[in-house]
């Protein structure tokens, strides 16, 4: 089973280096160019003989990319048109009260909460947000659901966020959750994983 994960394009919050999990940050001009470029790349490279199941986080930055990819792929198809499915559980981690703030702003405004997060990153629940462990389990459960849909030969194309792709990598490669920090996924970076009899193989991590 072939899986392709793509991170959204560059956003204003990426540039400003603020915590933006569930916040609907707008794409920058560069991000908009990245979206068109990666969609064109997929249009040229995807195996046209295979069915494609396209799933996406419903946030604006991922939805824009899913729609552009859907349009590009369907341009070359007369039958079996691809239609995006938006899944709430593919959203980025919810940073709660940290949303929209830089690290310095968080340390100044919420010093106690920041300290607790740093002391127990995986299990501390940010007020009004979620723990990293809960987020990881949410992503894994969703991917397992997607795996069981469609045919084994279908390509699963997932448009999501950096954190979601990190969770997918450690899940399919059977790594501990803490290993996620070894993977840095750039905006519109493409990660390809093949799963054979439950054994995950990292095929490539491509820059935008």
39-87: pLDDT as tens digits = 999 999 888 788 899 999 999 999 999 999 999 988 877 656 789 999 9
Q: What is the pLDDT of residue 151?
A: 86
Q: What is the pLDDT of residue 78?
A: 64
Has residue 106 got a pLDDT over 80?
A: yes
Q: What is the pLDDT of residues 175-190, one digit of tens each?
A: 999 999 999 999 999 9
Q: Which of 82, 21, 24, 92 is nearest to 57 (CA)?
A: 92
Backbone angles phi, psi at 11, to 5 degrees: -115, 165
Task: Give the Å distances, CA to CA, from 91 to 7, 110, 138, 142.
Answer: 11, 24, 9, 11
What stretches of 62-208 adopt beta strand conformation (E)?
85-86, 155-160, 190-196, 199-206
Contact 59, 94 (CB under 8 A): no
Contact 166, 93 (CB under 8 A): no
Report the alpha-carbon distance of residue 111 to residue 29 in Å, rounded: 34
Mean pLDDT of 96-108: 97
Report the alpha-carbon distance of residue 106 to residue 112 in Å, rounded: 10
Q: What is the pLDDT of residue 85?
A: 96
Q: What is the pLDDT of residues 15-31, one digit of tens each?
A: 999 999 999 999 999 99
HSE-CB at 133 with a 13 A cutoff on CA atoms is: 8
- Whether domain 2-95+131-206 has CATH 3.40.50.1240: the reply is yes
Put the strands of the sheet holding 155-160 in their side by side order. 85-86, 52-56, 155-160, 2-7, 190-196, 199-206
Q: What is the pLDDT of residue 144?
A: 95
Q: What is the pLDDT of residue 36?
A: 97
Instruction: Using a pLDDT cut of 70, give the percent of the chain over it.
Output: 99
Has residue 108 got a pLDDT over 80?
A: yes
Q: What is the pLDDT of residue 93?
A: 97
Neighbouring CB atoms inside 10 A of 42's CB total 18
Mean pLDDT of 32-43: 95
Instruction: Using a pLDDT cut of 90, give the percent of the chain over it.
Output: 83
Report the alpha-carbon distance of residue 139 to residue 39 in Å, rounded: 24
């Amino acid at each position: 089973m072939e899986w392709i994960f793509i991170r959204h394009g560059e956003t204003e919050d990426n540039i400003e280096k603020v915590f933006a999990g569930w916040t609907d940050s707008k794409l920058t001009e560069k991000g908009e160019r990245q979206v068109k470029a990666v969609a064109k790349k997929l249009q040229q490279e995807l195996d046209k003989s295979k069915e494609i199941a396209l799933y996406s986080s419903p946030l604006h930055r991922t939805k824009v990319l899913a729609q552009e990819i859907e349009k590009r792929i369907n341009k070359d198809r007369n039958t079996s048109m691809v239609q995006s499915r938006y899944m709430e559980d593919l959203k980025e981690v919810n940073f709660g009260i940290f949303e929209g703030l830089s690290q310095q702003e968080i340390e100044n405004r919420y010093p106690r909460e920041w300290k607790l997060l740093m002391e127990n990153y995986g299990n501390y629940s940010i007020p009004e947000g979620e723990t990293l462990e809960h987020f990881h389990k949410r992503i894994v459960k969703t991917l397992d659901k997607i795996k069981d849909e469609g045919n084994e030969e279908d390509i699963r194309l997932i448009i999501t966020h950096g954190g979601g792709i990190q969770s997918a990598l450690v899940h399919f490669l059977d790594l501990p959750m803490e290993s996620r920090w070894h993977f840095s996924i750039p905006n519109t970076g493409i990660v390809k994983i093949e799963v054979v009899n439950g054994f995950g193989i990292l095929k490539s991590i491509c820059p935008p």
